[in-house]
């Protein structure tokens, strides 16, 4: 673990620019013109973006910021594919051993790409994550905590930015104790609406998630790299009566006030709806977390 000054408060948001007909799975990525158009919507309201993978989308985002002078800092993410099968994943976490071995090799290359990009854009990238939701019990891309420690150590040896790992708050309360000691800061996710909390319960629940991790790891900076509220649901995992644009606006307004008042760095989830995610059902909740719809029309939370 390296010594870094704590990351300061920024108006931060998670960004994936995939429009209808595009997705990382299909390897159809937004163009640089489309990314620049998104940034013209976001500039002025946001200081920092979080990215999820060192792929073509990420490279184009960094090129657009660098070439066109957009004033965003970036949390770079290395996406880790499954290195272990996970029978606890409800939507399918079993993988043949040859696929798992291919994933282990690809994960090494992904971390190496993160090093290359972090060193190429040191004035834009201010923190690097060694993965996203890869150790929680329900993930379909399960990676052993010991492997994540190794990826974190590799990044720390090769880049100047602080290194973290982004995960649901629960594993940070015990399972990831060794990893917590290795990372430069801890990044947690809190989604009250996925845990059947109402909007009246939501903010207190997120505060307690955060406080619990802080108590477990005193002296370590804890930031929130995902917190948000869906605006539609077909009932899969989220009761439809718990989601609306009004609920999203209330929760995000409360998050932003807490972040500013207490100096807690929070990346809101997320900038734009992504219709490629989840099932084919149009009200699939995975599709509906954006402050803007997929067609870039603003929701109530933008106002």
pLDDT of 1 above 60: no
Q: Closest by alpha carbon to 278, among 35, 29, 25, 27?
A: 25
- In this structure, what DSSP letter does residue 168 have? E
Asked whether the whole model's pTM tops 0.95, one would answer yes
In contact, 109 and 119? CB cutoff 8 Å: no
pLDDT of 45 above 80: yes
- Answer yes or no: is 22 within a domain: yes
CATH number of the domain enclosing 50: 3.20.20.80
Give the pLDDT confidence of 258-300 residue by residue, as tens digits.
999 999 999 999 999 999 999 999 999 999 999 999 999 999 9
Cβ neighbours of residue 162 closer than 8 Å, sequence gap 6 or more: 2, 4, 7, 126, 127, 128, 184, 185
Q: Residues of 169-185 as b/e, b for ≥16 C-beta within 10 angstroms?
A: bbbbbeebeebbebbbb
112 vs 3, more confident:
112
DSSP state letters, 83-117: SB--TT-TT-----HHHHHHHHHHHHHHHHHHHHH
Three-state DSSP string of 260-299: HHHCCCEEECCCECCCCCCCCCCCCHHHCCCCECCCCCEC
Confidence label for 2 from pLDDT (cuts 50, 70 and 90): low
- Answer yes or no: is 250 within a domain: yes
In contact, 135 and 151? CB cutoff 8 Å: no
pLDDT of 3 above 80: no
Provide the number of structural domains found in the chain. 1
Q: Is 112 exposed, middle or buried (0-12, 13-18, 19+ CB in 10 A)?
A: middle
User: What's the Cα-to-Cα distance from 250 to each of 171, 193, 225, 254, rounded to whole Å?
Assistant: 28, 13, 19, 6
Give the mean model confidence (pLDDT) for residues 39-58: 98
Domain that holds residue 297: 11-302
- Answer yes or no: is 205 within a domain: yes
Strands 48-50 and 163-168: what pairing? Answer: unpaired
CA distance 193 to 148: 28
pLDDT of residue 4: 85
Confidence label for 5 from pLDDT (cuts 50, 70 and 90): confident
Confidence label for 303 from pLDDT (cuts 50, 70 and 90): confident
Give the pLDDT confidence of 97-143 residue by residue, as tens digits.
999 999 999 999 999 999 999 999 999 999 999 999 999 999 999 99
- Answer yes or no: is 6 within a domain: no
- Answer yes or no: is 5 within a domain: no
């Amino acid at each position: 673990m390296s010594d870094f000054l704590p990351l300061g408060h920024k108006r931060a948001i998670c960004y994936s620019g995939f429009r209808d007909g595009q997705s990382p799975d299909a390897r159809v990525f937004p163009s640089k013109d489309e990314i620049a158009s998104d940034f013209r919507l976001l500039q002025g309201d946001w200081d920092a973006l979080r990215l999820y993978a060192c792929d073509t989308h990420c490279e184009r985002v960094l090129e657009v910021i660098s070439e066109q002078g957009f004033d965003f800092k970036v949390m770079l993410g290395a996406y880790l594919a499954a290195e272990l099968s996970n029978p606890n994943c409800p939507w399918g976490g079993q993988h043949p051993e040859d696929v798992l071995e291919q994933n282990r090799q690809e994960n090494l290359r992904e971390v190496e790409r993160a090093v290359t990009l972090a060193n190429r854009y040191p004035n834009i990238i201010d923190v690097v994550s060694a993965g996203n939701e890869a150790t929680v019990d329900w993930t379909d891309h399960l990676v052993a905590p010991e492997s994540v420690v190794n990826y974190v150590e590799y990044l720390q040896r090769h880049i100047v930015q602080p290194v973290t790992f982004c995960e649901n708050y629960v594993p940070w309360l015990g399972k990831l104790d060794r990893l917590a000691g290795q990372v430069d800061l801890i990044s947690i996710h809190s989604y009250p609406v996925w845990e059947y909390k109402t909007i009246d319960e939501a903010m207190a629940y997120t505060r307690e998630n955060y406080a619990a991790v802080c108590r477990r790891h005193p002296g370590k900076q804890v930031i929130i790299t995902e917190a948000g509220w869906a605006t539609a649901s077909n009932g899969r995992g989220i009761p439809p009566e718990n989601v609306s644009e009004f609920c999203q606006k209330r929760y995000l307004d409360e998050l932003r006030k807490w972040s500013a008042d207490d100096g807690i760095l929070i990346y809101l989830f997320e900038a734009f709806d992504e219709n490629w995610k989840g099932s084919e059902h149009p009200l699939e909740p995975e599709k509906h977390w954006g402050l803007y719809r997929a067609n870039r029309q603003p929701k109530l939370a933008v106002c």
